[in-house]
Structure 1
């Protein structure tokens, strides 16, 4: 609980105003090309079955404690879900677990899916 207390104390106006906890999907995809990011999809298995993103690893929020060893500590971890609620919970969990470079992807699921249009895919393939 002490680590969680310390984390909460850091989450002040300066922290949130800095945006250091955020990343766009476009930036995550740039870093993915350089193998510098682990993109983590924390949506449920059912949501992932319905709409799968091959560039991300799906570990549902409820499975994070049992599968945290699958998340590398030597890369930026960029997390997304359908909005930001579950991503924020997992962000906090990973920070308390000792992960240094964790980001919440700011785009909602519609923005993420909409990004992969032919022009974007062709330009970035």
Structure 2
């Protein structure tokens, strides 16, 4: 069983120093078999909706709904947790790790790096590989 204490005990200097918990937005969007878990509030999603059709699947579950909807989050895919500033992403990353999810990363930086990763030039290169 992966309880919170066991997850936290593994988060030592080496863990953070090697960056096992995080991933740059551009790197994540290039991943195969991945899902972006958007944990922003409904109101935020209504304002800026992320579809990322040419990159990865997006699953929208507000932070406070994750415990009740955890069954919707696949364990067999890389899960990139995203929010506007990173705070909620860290919370849900830790929660998912405590529930046995092994392939979970925090997508770094909020909106700016995500928007940079989908700029026309980068999207063009992705679509014309």
Q: TM-score, normalised by structure 2?
A: 0.88
SS of residue matched to 2:92: helix
- Check whether the contact 2:26–2:113 (CA below 8 A) recurs between aligned residues: no
Residues in 1 aligned to 2:90 and 2:41: alpha-carbon distance in whole angstroms: 15
Structure 1: 5+ residue stretches without partners: none
Q: Structure 1 segments of 4 or more deviating over 3 A? A: none
Residues in 2 aligned to 1:19 and 1:13: alpha-carbon distance in whole angstroms: 10
In the other structure, the counterpart of 2:120 is 118
Residues in 2 aligned to 1:100 and 1:116: alpha-carbon distance in whole angstroms: 27
Alignment coverage as a number of residue pairs: 122
SS of residue matched to 2:20: coil
SS of residue matched to 2:50: coil
Q: For 1:84-103, list aligned pairs within 5 A.
A: 84-103=86-105
SS of residue matched to 1:40: strand
In the other structure, the counterpart of 1:68 is 70
Cα deviation code 1:80-103 (max 9, x no counterpart): 101111000000110111111110
SS of residue matched to 1:66: helix
Residues in 1 aligned to 2:12 and 2:124: alpha-carbon distance in whole angstroms: 41
Superposition RMSD on alpha carbons, in Å?
A: 1.6
In the other structure, the counterpart of 1:47 is 44
Structure 2: 5+ residue stretches without partners: 53-57
Residues in 1 aligned to 2:115 and 2:29: alpha-carbon distance in whole angstroms: 13
Residues in 2 aligned to 1:116 and 1:104: alpha-carbon distance in whole angstroms: 18
Q: TM-score, normalised by structure 1?
A: 0.90
